[in-house]
Structure 1
């Protein structure tokens, strides 16, 4: 698979933009585009030039999701080439930079920051981060929405859309050709585990949705997948199961925090899990804690009252909660 490696110091390490080309039919497509900064733009331009192409040659852009490190340059490339931009319908308004959709996300984020108990100083730091991040978002693009099961003929390949929400509402994988390989964006990463809860506050029941996506990837048994960051994953099923186990262990740690320190909000739990947080992690940390607390509450392992989570009165110590946890995480999709 032909990929262009792009810099990224802020989110999960270096990005990948994948090049799909059919020179006989004069078709060129990109899967993801990278951040809209001058240095990343130049890296992508040079990468295409080394392959004999320019931005103006791109016919199609397939986006795994709306985050700026994957979609930032889509609008600029579309302006240069009139490329068709595909993204799942749930993320389409964010790629289009729809002002109402963006305002709704900001309101929802503020409501969550209130509920999670994020202190004022950290909220001010987070606001400054998002204000600075406007410079790397890039231009909005006109989008052709896709949904689960849609097939795209781009760059001489046929890609089938596999909706895999959790990290974002519209995150999608794209099966390649015979289905033995796929572009997976941030649904499956080789080093980090993608954030759930804070990375896209639009997602309802974020951990539940992400666990379902992981099981779907594991059940597919791909030979190899191509992530949005870093190197290809040669045993995707094993990696998906590792991340499932990671989340079981994280929920277990959260139960331990509540057992030791008593009832707490999401910010307090995240402090115990992650320590001091800076930049984007000010929302990612409590968001991740919330995703687990929310999941455990819906599954009856915890109780919630005005943003504070506690062990139920009926639970006789952490061992019984741990038994409940095993039941929750062993469920099949």
Structure 2
């Protein structure tokens, strides 16, 4: 065992504690904190913890596995690394190191458009990096140009994030004065046009009048889903009505997410919104979830309430900050091991055995019915 491996934390909680201690306060504020009073960040964690898992005795487990096919691609475990910006701030290996770790562990990866490394470099580092996330650019043409570049680089799907038309007010990040280090930028957006804002007229609002005209609407999304070179998933949906509209618009999947509590503080937790979205979509497309996943038992809880897979964010940041790609690989392995142990103790041999009957959910305060 190498000295580096010997020094790794023994568990996921240890990675979180050590990352908080190692990171400069401003960096920790950007990657690990949320918007406003962080009510939604806390709800993501609290609502998952309140879901009880039924132990089941003497269930047959021979031949069990955690494999799942998603949009035609097999995953060894129903987890993907969530898109996160500027990972070279945490470790020089950055997104390429994370892609290598994901590939080693059979976990999927969704690369952020605000990655600090070229998408082609990241793809070369790890073939598990199959999905490319993007925001709507300054119009249809530049958005499609980014999508076409992703297709040429070998990506298999696009993830259009729709829950952040404007940035959330991140108190901790503002107070810390976080700025990107010199030399780190969203390199994949180089050369793309930036939004051009017309001068304000009397009585106009900077937010509602200048910004709104460069943002997409459902018609733009439907156009993109119909014309993009790859299947498009929509990320950042909580309300069932929005999920239904995503299916109508041609989305190949939806990702229930509140942006890790980094945009609208006070939004429902992702896990509380998940059942309503699953019911509304009714199997038309896969439903994924992110927000608050910290342990393998949390993955199980999300699957039990209808998620096809989950996306992992902050635990990956913890691993990368503590030990680079090796740390990420270890974190992913720990999550998989914990999921397998949870499945075994809950009497579930395969993912298909995991159902709402496996858990005892409380009445989650943020839950949203499929109506209205």
Relative to its length, the structure with more strand (as a share) is: 1
Q: Does 1 or 2 have the higher relative contact order (CA < 8 Å, sep 6+)?
A: 2
Bin of the TM-score, shorter chain as denominator length: 0.3 to 0.5
TM-score, normalisation: structure 1 = 0.32
